[in-house]
Amino acid sequence: MKFGAVAARFALVVSCALAMVAPAQARFWQCAPYAREISGVEIFGNAHTWWGQAAGKYERGHAPKEGAVLSFAATSKMRLGHVAMVSKVVSDREVLLTHANWSRRGGIERDVRAIDVSAAGDWSEVKVWYGPLGGLGTSAYPANGFIYAKHAPRGSELEAPLVIVKTDPPAPVQGGASTQSAHARMVVALND
């Protein structure tokens, strides 16, 4: 086989694989489904309803814990509120958040800084890192508090997308033998 034919076949296989992966990675995330997915807090509905729905179902409080969901109250700028999972507690007044749909519409941000700016130190007012500024945003947002997950998320739940290549079953060949199919399908499972 000539080099040109091999290069063309390779380019075709790569382009097919990328065509299958790109649409899946373009998934648009809202904050609530993403927070539910990574935290294990099984609450449904808009973010501003999570705090009330958590009453009696999950422990709630005003101290950050890894894996907890920080519930933001609704405001004129955030009519539906916001939820974000605490990926790391840095101090009693600083955490790292993993969340969706904050700096970039539908995008995911991992381990971004958030600080408690409330006078009482109770996380009732929060500033969050904002991508376009490259630092903490200029606005402080009211927060309800933390919804504590029943289990901390596993580190693997927060990692980059997992790509699994699955080979089709061997095709039967006349005479009872089988050969491996040359066709491979790509299955993509994404965290973002």
The string of DSSP letters for 50-102 reads: HHHHHTTTS-EESS--TT-EEEEPP-SS-TT-EEEEEEEEEETTEEEEEEESS
> Which residue reads 């390779």 in tokens?
10
- The pLDDT-based confidence of 179 (bands split at 50, 70, 90) is very low
pLDDT band at residue 12, thresholds of 50, 70 and 90?
low
- On average, the pLDDT of the chain sits at 79
Task: Tell me the mean pLDDT in the region 168-189.
Answer: 41
- Of the chain, the percentage scoring pLDDT greater than 70 comes to 66
pLDDT grade, residue 104 (50/70/90)?
A: very high
Q: What is the pLDDT at residue 67?
A: 96
Contact 108, 192 (CB under 8 A): yes
Select the more confidently predicted residue: 143 or 16. Answer: 143
Portions of the chain given CATH number 3.90.1720.10: 31-158
- CATH number of 31-158, picked from 3.90.1150.10, 1.10.150.570, 3.90.1720.10, 2.20.25.90: 3.90.1720.10
- pLDDT > 80? residue 32: yes
43 Cβ contact partners less than 8 Å away, ≥ 6 residues apart: 32, 36, 49, 50, 53, 54, 57, 58, 147
Question: Contact, 32 vs 83, CB < 8 A?
Answer: yes
Instruction: Name the band, by pLDDT with cuts 50, 70 and 90, for residue 26.
Output: low
| Beta strand pairing call for 135-136 and 108-116 | unpaired
pLDDT of residue 120 exceeding 80, the answer is yes
Tokens of 68: 């907890």
